Structures are given as C-alpha cells and as structure tokens.
C-alpha cells in the first residue's frame, strides 16, 4: 500500500513509518529539519521537507506525494503537531494562530487534498492523530486543547459527509506517549511566553520542571508502539472505528467525560497540570 505520514521525525510518526516500512509498504513522510530528512531517507522513506504552518505549501507538497505514488494514496496519516504551553491570557493571537496552523489548518488542507484524490480512486483511509486533550482540558494547555477539540469536531463532521463513500476517517487518541513532544513544547514555551512577568509565573516554574524532567513526566506513559497497534487495526479493517483510545488515562477520561457532570470533572482536572 501507499502510505503518507506527516511529522515522522520522532515519537508516533516515526514509529508509524518504521512499522509500515517493515510491512513493505511504500512510505512518504514529512519532517521540518534537514537532519531528520537524511535519517528517514536512510530508513527507506521518501521524505518531504516542509513547515506545515505554511499552508500555501501543502497543495504543491501533496502533488509530490501523488506523483511518487503514481496517483494512488491508500492511507493518509495526519500526525504532525506541537504543544503551545501557557495560560490563555498569556498566549498571543500570533501564537494561537501558529498552533492552529500546524495542528488544525494543515490537517484540514491535507485532508481536503486526500479526499479529492480518494474520491477519484473510490476509496481510502484518513487517520488523524488527536489527544486525550481533545476530549478533556488541562490548565496551561489552552491553545493545544482548543486545536485538538477542533480536530475531533472536524472528524465527526467528515464521517457524516463521507457516509456514502468508501473513504474512512479515524481518530487515534493517545494519552501520554514517549516522544520529543515535551522537549519541543519546552523550546516553544520559553520562546513565546513572558514567564517571569506573568501572574502565572509560579505555575510556570512547575511547568518548566515538568517539561525538563528526564524520562516519563506522567504515570501510565506508553511507548509509541502502543499507537502502532491501533494503526494496524485501522489498516486491516474494512470499516475502521471512528476512534481508537491509547493509554489508561485516555480510557479513564473518556469514561469520566461521559459519566460526570462538568463541575465534577473540572474539580478533577483542576488538580492536574
């Protein structure tokens, strides 16, 4: 099969790429850094270097994907994302827009390109990697929470609009997964938030300590291979499920979201982060 994956430099995206190569699929991936491009090419991927925040580059990029695959793409996996840390009152519109450019608008544009092609070839599967923070919210993650909530809503609508086609939309929704996500979030946090002069400066010191911690920062953290199992289920299924939860926290909060009142859930979430 021909499989396209965004954000394959580390974590879930890299695990997906390695697994698909091991299964002898043709794999095209995107990365942002030249050193990651060289590393993924050495594994056997066709690699496109792109900053997905630049929406104007996406359609030309997808054209390259289709040219490499000879106009047949079977699976599109939108994995690329980053985390904007900071209290919402400290997050500027510029920061919020970049969060949505990568985590939402780029996903939407790639999905539009994929649907157009999959209609021509009468089928295909689109996999969106979301998060536990797409169903519940945490303090200091408002920008990221919002982008993932939007992604879940996008997918819920797409499923309805594609009911009469053989194009399937699935969400993989992980909780804590081992990756470079915290490192990248730390770099972005320090660049974009005035930590010392914020009314939240004390809370930010806790966030800095958490982001700098070596090893898992949360209980029940799983390796990226836990998401690979869900991807394999999607690929093998004729009718994949709308959602695939990964990690105990994802299952727990999925349940609590359904059974608790908003006030009760707020009390629990207010103690976290």
Task: State if pTM tops 0.85.
Answer: yes
The CATH code of the domain that includes 122 is 3.40.50.720
Interatomic CA distance for residues 15 and 30, integer angstroms: 14
Residue positions annotated with a catalytic role? 144
Write the pLDDT tens digit of every residue in 118-140.
999 999 999 999 999 999 999 99
More confident residue, 245 or 190: 245
Write the pLDDT tens digit of every residue in 50-99.
999 999 999 999 999 999 999 999 999 999 999 999 999 999 999 999 99
Interatomic CA distance for residues 100 and 259, integer angstroms: 30
**Mean pLDDT within 187-213:** 89
DSSP symbol at 141:
B
Sheet holding 167-174, edge to edge: 46-49, 26-31, 2-5, 75-78, 124-129, 167-174, 243-246
For the chain, the domain total comes to: 1
Write the pLDDT tens digit of every residue in 205-263.
988 888 887 766 677 889 999 999 999 999 999 999 999 999 999 999 999 999 999 99
Segments forming the whole domain that contains residue 12:
2-270
- Give me the pLDDT at residue 267, please: 94
In what helix (H) or strand (E) does residue 189 lie, and over which residues does it extend?
helix 181-192
From residue 13, give the alpha-carbon distance in Å to each of 28, 92, 115, 193: 11, 28, 21, 27
């Amino acid at each position: 099969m021909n499989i396209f994956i965004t954000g394959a430099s580390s974590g879930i995206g890299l695990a997906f790429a390695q697994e698909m190569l091991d299964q002898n699929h043709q794999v095209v991936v995107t990365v942002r850094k030249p050193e990651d491009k060289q590393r993924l090419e050495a594994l056997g991927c066709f690699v496109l270097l792109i900053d997905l925040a630049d929406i104007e580059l996406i359609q030309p990029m997808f054209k390259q994907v289709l040219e490499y695959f000879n106009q047949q793409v079977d699976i599109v996996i939108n994995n690329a994302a980053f985390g904007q840390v900071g209290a919402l009152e400290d997050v500027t519109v510029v920061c919020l827009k970049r969060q949505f450019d990568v985590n939402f608008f780029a996903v939407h544009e790639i999905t539009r390109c994929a649907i157009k092609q999959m209609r021509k070839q009468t089928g295909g599967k689109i996999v969106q990697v979301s998060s536990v923070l797409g169903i519940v919210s945490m303090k200091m993650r408002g920008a990221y929470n919002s982008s993932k909530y939007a992604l879940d809503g996008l997918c819920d609508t797409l499923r309805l609009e594609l009911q009469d086609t053989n194009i399937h939309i699935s969400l993989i929704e992980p909780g804590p997964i081992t990756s470079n996500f915290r490192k990248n979030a730390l770099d972005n946090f320090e660049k974009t938030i005035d930590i010392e002069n914020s009314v939240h400066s004390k809370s930010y010191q806790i966030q800095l300590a958490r982001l700098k911690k070596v090893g898992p920062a949360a209980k029940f953290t799983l390796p990226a291979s836990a998401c690979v199992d869900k991807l394999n289920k999607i690929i093998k299924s004729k009718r994949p499920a709308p959602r695939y939860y990964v990690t105990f926290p994802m299952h727990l909060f999925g349940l609590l979201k359904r059974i608790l009142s908003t006030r009760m859930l707020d009390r629990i979430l207010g103690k976290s982060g």
